[in-house]
Amino acid sequence: MAVFVTAVRLGSLMGAARHHGLSPSMAGKHVARLEQEVGARLLTRTSRTLALTEPGQAFYARCQRILQEYEAARDEAGDAEAAISGPLRLSAPLLYGTTRLRAVFARFMAAHPRVVLDVNLGDTYADLQQGDIDLAVRIGRLADSALIGRKLETCPMLLCGAPVLIGDDPARDTLEAAQAHLRLEFSEAVSVSDWTVQAASGETHRIAGPVRMRSNNMTVLLDAALAGLGIAYGPAFVFAPHIRNGELRPLLAAWHPPELLVQAVYAPGKRPSAKVRVLLDFLAQELRQDDRAKTSKSGLE
């Protein structure tokens, strides 16, 4: 096909042969084999001229598009491999980064040794429209609906407190009792479902007791919960280990908080670079394989 297109473009089988490093007779055989496969004469040839037949004209136009697509795909694949180098800036929530992404980052850098990964972990969202962050991991509702996101996983949420605070009597595990507890509130929450629990029937309630402490850092709230200063509502990757070892206990066994969506997002208006696309694919694949935080709806088993 390439010999045929080149011959038409140059107006000569001899020129096509030179272009592709073939003998003139071999170039002629390539075109003859193509005509045999198509089942139609594509070129009229004399010793001095070469012209497309009517079927050849339509076939030539399609062949041009096919070869252009092939060349673009080939170049893109090569460019992508060459482009997986240099700085790549990512932001993520602090504890999500240290618990769910820390090992993923190490594996990504091992797979792409020319990448310089710049990771910014914090519980205040970076401005992707104005800043220099290439990719950000967000949990819950996107405050900026213009951002373009890709799902990485879902995040189970937990409502819990220290045994000294909530006791161990199942009869006291009620909505009324939960509403009476002091709350330890995450001040950077953006999801409308924050402090919401849902029954199997679909009925929902919001826990709205008085706030004892408010912080933009989940570790601070975790320490306060462990000290029995109030009940906490937050992601399983923060609280589930302390429930498993008995330091905390879940509230409202008959209810469960809705899961939140974890997404990798980037600013709109431009196609993400090859290295950003590679990191996106890598995060999604690795988190699917490493699903320790979601082995049950409660995130505890």
Residue 32, token pair as written in the block = 């003859």
| Tally of CB atoms within 10 A around 282 | 16
* Cβ atoms of residues 60 and 8 within 8 Å: yes
Rounded to the nearest integer, the mean pLDDT of the chain is 86
Quickly state the pLDDT bin for 210 (edges 50, 70, 90).
very high
* Cβ atoms of residues 231 and 183 within 8 Å: yes
Question: DSSP for 5-53?
Answer: HHHHHHT-HHHHHHHHT--HHHHHHHHHHHHHHHTS--EEE-SS-EEE-
Q: Tell me how far apart the alpha carbons of residues 97 and 157 are, in angstroms, rounded to a whole number.
A: 17
pLDDT at 67: 83
pLDDT tens-digit readout, 96-111:
999 999 999 999 999 9
Amino acid identity, residue 128? L
pLDDT at 82: 58
Q: Tell me how far apart the alpha carbons of residues 126 and 248 are, in angstroms, rounded to a whole number.
A: 32
